[in-house]
Amino acid sequence: MSLLVSLTLFVACGASLPPATVAPPSPTAVGPIVPTAPAPALTVATPTPSTLPATVALAPTLTPVPTHTAAPTKPVPTSTAVPKIPLVASFSVLGDLVRNVAGDRADVVVIVGPGQDTHTFEPAPSHALAVRDAAVVFENGAGFDGWLQRLYVASGSRARRVTVTEGITLQRGGHTHAEGEAESHEGEGELDPHVWQDVRHAIHMVGTIRDALAAHDAPGAAVYRANADRYIGELRELDAWVIAQVATVPEPRRTLVMNHESLGYFASRYGFAIVGTVLPSVSTEAAEPSASDLARLVRRIRSVGVPVIFAENVANTRVIERVAREAGARVGPLLYTDALARAGAGADTYVAMMRHNVGAIVTALRG
């Protein structure tokens, strides 16, 4: 075995080598023998566990196998947020009231959205899923959202149902001429469901929503009370504002003609006379008026001297425009009666809707 191989093996094994000596050369026949100094001993340092000396360059480099160390485990984040309560409101106006009371503690699904007619609405399968998964379902009642009963049963929902018109004295269909003569028509005797047109009734509805949510979610009761108190304060200011605005219209000019009987509560609260409607009903599901019905309405508008008649966002304006032409009246700005406007249209909340309607009515009738 050569010296190189021996060194390699010993260094690799971490052993010490004995001193090596070199024998003097044998005599030759040429010249005298010249003595030479003995070669220094070759010493190989024993490596320590931490370092290998630079003199052992002949040994192969050994890469230590790293000891496996587990990466530190990150804690699984634990959410402290309260899961939002799934709620359903039957139509857009009611949905806005519910959202104002529920705040961030709930997700509110509105079945009949902005610009849609709740009277003639036909639910889709997606609406059944929303009702099925809801904790509380808020409905107007008084025949306004009658399709909800079928939807609730078909969905298999176990949600609590809350009718927000309970406790409100409902008016019945049938409007009064400006002269005070009661008109008889096919809608007379129907319960009028449009209670939110009187802001005081909207305040009652907010209280019903507050109590229902507090009963379902006791930990959030204080939040619901605070939200309701804030919102009721805003609604009281709105009611006072409406009264002040209407006072600027001379009483003889406080007359209303619309597409259907949607402003009965508004008229009763704020001092208007409903002269007539294109559809003689509290619902837009009523049959189209006959030619004689329209002729009678035109004569009434002329006799009373109604200057402006109003179209509604849930109805076709074609007939109301025809009546206005024949009666010599103007068509006023569009009113939002049964549904809010779409987002950004200026009447997309209950308060904004009422302010829009009152501003449009007052401005048009003042002349």
Compute the distance between CA of residue 343 and CA of residue 360 in angstroms, rounded to an integer.
19
The pLDDT assigned to 280 comes to: 81
Could you tell me which residue, 262 or 183, shows the higher pLDDT?
Answer: 262
Question: Is residue 132 over pLDDT 90?
Answer: yes
Per-residue pLDDT band at 49 (split at 50, 70, 90): very low
- Confidence (pLDDT) at 190: 86
DSSP-derived 3-state class of residue 274: strand
pLDDT computed for residue 184 by the predictor = 43
Q: Report, as an integer, the average pLDDT of 158-175.
A: 92
pLDDT greater than 50 at residue 330: yes
Averaged over 102-114, what is the pLDDT? Answer: 97
Tell me the pLDDT band of 316, cut-offs 50, 70 and 90. confident
Share of the chain above pLDDT 90, in %: 66
| pLDDT above 50 for 24 | no
Question: DSSP letter at 282?
Answer: S
Task: Please say if the pLDDT value at position 56 is more than 50.
Answer: no
Confidence grade of residue 175 (pLDDT, cut at 50, 70, 90): low
Asked whether residue 284 carries a pLDDT value surpassing 90, the answer given is no
Inform me whether the pLDDT recorded for 77 exceeds 60: no
pTM of the model: 0.75
pLDDT value of position 231: 98
Q: Nearest 5°: phi and psi at 176? A: -115, 135
Give the whole-angstrom CA distance, residue 44 versus residue 12.
12
Domain boundaries, the chain: 85-366
pLDDT at 74 over 70: no
Tokens of 312: 């509604």
3-state DSSP assignment of residue 46: coil
Chain segment 219-260, per-residue pLDDT in tens: 999 999 999 999 999 999 999 999 999 999 999 999 999 998
Q: Are 193 and 165 in contact (CB under 8 A)?
A: yes
What pLDDT does residue 361 have? 98
| Separation CA 191–CA 282 (nearest Å) | 8
- Mean pLDDT across the stretch 1-5? 38
Most confident range, picked from 7-16, 75-84, 228-237, 316-325: 228-237
**Average model confidence (pLDDT) across the chain:** 81
CATH classification of 85-366, choosing from 3.40.50.1980, 3.40.605.10, 3.90.1150.10, 3.40.50.280? 3.40.50.1980
Q: Is 331 exposed, middle or buried (0-12, 13-18, 19+ CB in 10 A)?
A: middle
Q: Which residues of 246-283 are buried (b: 16+ CB within 10 A; e: fewer)?
A: beebeeebbbbbbbbbbbbbbbebbebbbbbbbbbbbb
Considering only 8-17, 64-73, 109-118, 299-308, which range has the smallest mean pLDDT? 8-17
Question: Which pLDDT does position 75 carry in this prediction?
Answer: 46
